[in-house]
Amino acid sequence: MQDKYEVLYRYFGYTAFRGGQAELIDAQLSGRDVFGIMPTGGGKSLCYQIPALMLEGITLVVSPLISLMKDQVSALKNMGVSAAYVNRSLTSEQIRLVLRNIQQQKYKIIYIAPERLLTESFLAAISNLKIAMVAVDEAHCISQWGQDFRPSYLRIADFLKLLKKRPIVSAFTATATQEVRDDVERILGLQNPLRIITGYDRPNLRFEVVQPKSKPLALLDFIEARPEKCGIVYCSTRKEVENTCQMLQNKGISATRYHAGLSEEERHTNQDDFVYDRCKVMVATNAFGMGIDKSNVGYVIHYNMPQSIESYYQEAGRAGRDGENADCILLYSPADIRTAKFLIQHPTENEELSEEERSDIIKRSLIRLDAMIGYCNTNHCLRGYILEYFGQEHPQLCGNCSNCESTAEQRDITEYAKMILSCIYRIQEQLGYSLGATLVAGVLHGSSEKRIKELRLTELSTYGLMNHVPRSEIREMISALENQGYIISHPDRGDLKLTGKAREVLFHGEKVKMLVRKKKREKPRKEDAPSNPNTAGLLQELKALRLTLAKEENMPAYIVFSNATLQDMAQKAPVTMAEFLNVSGVGNYKAQRYGQAFITTIKKYLGED
């Protein structure tokens, strides 16, 4: 009997399990039901694929998503596992063929759409087979409380009842509130399942919220700074998708688009272009992504604020599934709130809902939206905010989000406040009129600009009083004083006057504080750190080879090898088959299949050929 580490190494090329995987695998191997709750990218598929390879009999994997099934089956085949899928993307001729093969026990793992489970032809095909396990992927689809309720998932329970011998049942999901969890266990009829919740944190994702002056420019800057990466840009409306995609294309960026208004054919083509790395950037509405298993997504940018933390985390979580550092950026503008509210209040018609249910849903959505707005405005750790939302404990600072990277402190600015307030007072007293913030700051800083001289402001006793403070910083303090009600500015002209409250500071010792946000020095990130120049060159060669192989086999590049694997390969630079097998992510089958080609390239690069 093989052991699970052997299988992990032989097929997947990994040497260690991630959190939760080993326990879940052991339980299934001992015949127990399991329920695994892991974030996207946490490594759920391996949790049922390894037992499937080790148990006697076949394993059925129920999955809602056609593209995901295709992807996983390609990946399995490329590891030397006999697998197939049954769903509506196949012609009836193809289905007949697959069913015949199933009957002849040609596959170890079969992916199947839930609505196919109860078809006569499928039931007939499996009637004489030993079904060791039924693994339910995206198990939250079974619950009406979940965001992606699929009635066809309810048939899984009926299917299980039809089987002569009950198989092991395992369920997996990334999203699970308590109601959803209860539903999954109850409706699927899990028996004393081992429940493993690995937590929601994805440490390799960096979170950032920006409120840029111009979103198009901010987006362009970001993408152009990462020419070698591919990523997803989410927009909240179809129109915004069209405009943004066009804008990027005009700037020479290889971008494509996806939304529900496009023909099925175009959606299909565009999605494939992105998955197969023919296009770097996918601009899409939230219709895109469910079931996209592409592991090398380097960033997910939200061009608009989404409607809930749940959706945000699910969409942003599509970055960095290969475990490499990746960015999740939200380009926020207060106008996004209006759009989001409008979209919530005008949902697509659903005739099954009563008026009351409809208004209930809207109410709940608005509460979720509030939490999302909170995320965009918080001064606290962004990762902490998300984890808190999902009810998970977390350290106060993560060190890998835009808020943790800048420090905010309450600075005592009382002395400066006094100087600013008395300057405004003097100007009014001595000149008989008021000035706007720019000029006041100029006076205090001791600027020699023409207008200050013309107005003879140089003669004021406060002129140059703050000459060691940059003018921009003086401006910020003036805004802070205005925000705190010590100054008011004329709504049209902008000139400044003191309020009664200013006296408290000038004469009664009241202290003034201001929140200052300082950007910490950027610490170099792992991937950005000056990489070993030798490996950088080799990595390029390996990537080029991967692309060639992927094209020859008409497969997405990441199914050949993931970025993480190529990086390890460049580092180890294996020149023998034994060394090649030591690279993380290289299993036996892939070593046989690709080893020679990669070793040749490496030798050539090292000049040993």
Query: Closest CB to ligand ADP belongs to which residue?
Result: 43
CA-to-CA distance for 376 and 386, rounded, in angstroms?
Answer: 11
Report the SS3 class of residue 104: coil
Q: Which does 404 bind (CB under 5 to 8 A by kind): Zn ion, ligand ADP, none?
A: Zn ion
Bridge-based pairing of strands 281-284 and 230-234 is: parallel
Q: Which does 44 bind (CB under 5 to 8 A by kind): Zn ion, ligand ADP, none?
A: ligand ADP
**Window 141 to 180, contacts with Zn ion (CB under 5 A):** none
Asked whether the beta carbons of 170 and 47 are under 8 A apart, the reply is yes
Residue with smaller CB distance to ligand ADP, 33 or 293: 293
Residue with smaller CB distance to Zn ion, 4 or 394: 394
61: burial class by Cβ within 10 Å (0-12, 13-18, 19+)?
A: buried
In the complex, minimum distance from the CB of residue 303 to ligand ADP, in angstroms, rounded to a whole number: 24
In the complex, minimum distance from the CB of residue 367 to ligand ADP, in angstroms, rounded to a whole number: 28
The token pair at 504 is: 């408290």
The token pair at 469 is: 């403070």
Q: Which does 383 bind (CB under 5 to 8 A by kind): ligand ADP, Zn ion, none?
A: Zn ion
* 59 Rama sector, left if φ>0, alpha if ψ -120 to 50, beta otherwise: beta
Q: Which does 401 bind (CB under 5 to 8 A by kind): Zn ion, ligand ADP, none?
A: Zn ion
What b/e readout covers 526-562, taking b as 16+ CB neighbours within 10 angstroms?
eeeeeeeeebeebbebbbebbeebbeeeebbbbbbbb
330 contacts Zn ion (rule: CB under 5 A): no
Residue with smaller CB distance to ligand ADP, 78 or 285: 78
In the complex, minimum distance from the CB of residue 398 to Zn ion, in angstroms, rounded to a whole number: 3
In the complex, minimum distance from the CB of residue 528 to ligand ADP, in angstroms, rounded to a whole number: 22
383 contacts Zn ion (rule: CB under 5 A): yes
In the complex, minimum distance from the CB of residue 598 to ligand ADP, in angstroms, rounded to a whole number: 18
In the complex, minimum distance from the CB of residue 328 to Zn ion, in angstroms, rounded to a whole number: 12
Q: Which does 219 bind (CB under 5 to 8 A by kind): Zn ion, ligand ADP, none?
A: none
In the complex, minimum distance from the CB of residue 562 to ligand ADP, in angstroms, rounded to a whole number: 5
Q: Which does 398 bind (CB under 5 to 8 A by kind): ligand ADP, Zn ion, none?
A: Zn ion
Residue with smaller CB distance to Zn ion, 169 or 398: 398
381 contacts Zn ion (rule: CB under 5 A): yes
Helix axes 238-250, 215-224, angle to 10 degrees: 50
Q: Which does 170 bind (CB under 5 to 8 A by kind): Zn ion, ligand ADP, none?
A: none
DSSP 500: T
CA-to-CA distance for 560 and 570, rounded, in angstroms?
Answer: 15
The token pair at 114 is: 């839930």
Interface with Zn ion (CB under 5 A), residue total: 5
Asked whether the beta carbons of 279 and 273 are under 8 A apart, the reply is yes
Segment near Zn ion (CB under 5 A); pick from 136-144, 166-174, 395-403, 480-488: 395-403
Q: Which does 40 bind (CB under 5 to 8 A by kind): Zn ion, ligand ADP, none?
A: ligand ADP
Please name which of 604, 593, 532, 600 lies closest in space to residue 568, comparing C-alpha atoms: 532
CA-to-CA distance for 367 and 215, rounded, in angstroms?
Answer: 26
Residue with smaller CB distance to ligand ADP, 41 or 289: 41
Q: Which does 295 bind (CB under 5 to 8 A by kind): ligand ADP, Zn ion, none?
A: ligand ADP
**Window 398 to 457, contacts with Zn ion (CB under 5 A):** 398, 401, 404
How close are the terminal C-alpha atoms of the chain, in Å? 41
Segment near Zn ion (CB under 5 A); pick from 73-81, 212-220, 394-402, 440-448: 394-402
Segment near Zn ion (CB under 5 A); pick from 267-275, 377-385, 493-501, 505-513: 377-385
The edge-to-edge listing of strands for the beta sheet with 326-331 is: 205-210, 326-331, 297-302, 230-234, 281-284, 255-258
Q: Which does 171 bind (CB under 5 to 8 A by kind): ligand ADP, Zn ion, none?
A: none
How many other CB atoms sit within 10 Å of the CB of residue 568? 18
Asked whether the beta carbons of 341 and 219 are under 8 A apart, the reply is no
In the complex, minimum distance from the CB of residue 424 to ligand ADP, in angstroms, rounded to a whole number: 58
In the complex, minimum distance from the CB of residue 78 to ligand ADP, in angstroms, rounded to a whole number: 12
How many other CB atoms sit within 10 Å of the CB of residue 587? 21
In the complex, minimum distance from the CB of residue 541 to ligand ADP, in angstroms, rounded to a whole number: 22
Please name which of 268, 306, 341 lies closest in space to residue 317, comparing C-alpha atoms: 306
Summarize as ranges the residues that interact with ligand ADP (CB under 6 A). 14, 16-18, 21, 38, 40-46, 293, 295, 321-323, 562
Asked whether the beta carbons of 35 and 196 are under 8 A apart, the reply is yes
DSSP 401: B
Asked whether the beta carbons of 111 and 101 are under 8 A apart, the reply is no
